[in-house]
Amino acid sequence: MPFAFPSRVYPIIDTLGDPARSHVELADEILQAGAPLVQLRLKDHPSGTFVEIARAVKAVADRRGARLIINDRADVAQLVDAAGVHLGQEDLPPAAARQILGPGKIIGVSTHSLAQVGAVARDGVADYIGFGPIYRTTSKERPDPVQGLEGLRAVRSRITLPIVAIGGITAATMPDVLAAGADAAALIAEIVRAADVTATVRALMGASAPAMECAPARLRGPRR
């Protein structure tokens, strides 16, 4: 069955280099708000540490009845039995990740241009695409060029795959992003730097719920 985002808010768990916060603590705070799908992002961590943290976050997600997507690493997603993987342009090709994970898992792919979007769509493996950055972002050391709302509208007009927009999105700009054609908005700093992470996620989900109810219905599940 085609994949559909279960919420228009797609939280990404990333400490953004803050040693005072742990990925597991952030996951618990996010999932307390009822987020049904989250992504774990760890940059520059040894594989052993990545697996250890991913297993702990997966346990929290299981306890809360949520699905976990692993950023970049299909092997880690397989090891911890995550719901799927989100691949960057420099990671494994989607077809290789599908060989590792099998037909029942979710595969998302980051894109930063119409050419990359077209390549993913023609490949026919990904369940959804990430597109951005929509705005200037501080969550990456070397961000790709800003694509803006016009870029998002152009992508929406060309593909039917679900789109999660990412890059500098805040509570204030999320309505514009959803109106421009994103099925969901990925947020990092807006969530993980909040004084009250749970309340922030709950508010974001509440604010986007009416838009979700009006969105075209899609069957929920990974691509088979």
Q: Which residues are catalytic?
A: 41, 110, 140
DSSP-derived 3-state class of residue 157: helix
| Structure letter (DSSP) for residue 33 | T
CA distances (Å), 121 to each of 57, 94, 199, in order? 30, 11, 36
Place of tokens 């940059």: 43
Angle at alpha carbon of residue 158, lines to 155 and 161, rounded to 5°: 80
Tell me whether residue 49 is exposed, middle or buried, using C-beta atoms within 10 angstroms of its C-beta: 0 to 12, 13 to 18, 19 or more: exposed
Task: Identify residue 138 by its one-letter amino acid code.
Answer: T
| Structure letter (DSSP) for residue 185 | E
Q: CA nearest 37: which of 64, 56, 14, 55?
A: 64
Neighbour count for residue 147 (Cβ, 10 Å): 22
Token pair recorded at residue 28? 């618990």
